[in-house]
Amino acid sequence: MYEPARVRQIAEDAIRKAVQAKDNPADLINVALEELVRARCELPGYTTLAGSAA
């Protein structure tokens, strides 16, 4: 089941942590995707993650 609020929160948390060491949006999106896979979440569309990484 897709839970948009949970997915966004996990992605946002992962990006906030990663931004301490990375600044490339593609790297930040990859970190978020890895964390979402680890949490067994259905992956959101690219634009959702790109908006979080901007």
For 14, residues 6+ apart whose C-beta sits below 8 A from its C-beta are 31, 32, 34, 35, 36
What does each of the 54 residues of the chain score in pLDDT, given as a tens digit? 678 899 999 999 999 999 999 989 999 999 999 999 999 998 877 777 677 666
Instruction: Please give the model's pTM, rounded to 2 decimal places.
Output: 0.77
Cα–Cα distance, 7 to 52 (Å, whole number): 11
Q: Answer yes or no: are the C-beta atoms of 53 and 18 closer than 8 Å.
A: no
Q: Rounded to 5 degrees, what are φ and ψ at 38?
A: -60, -35
The whole-number pLDDT of residue 52 equals 66
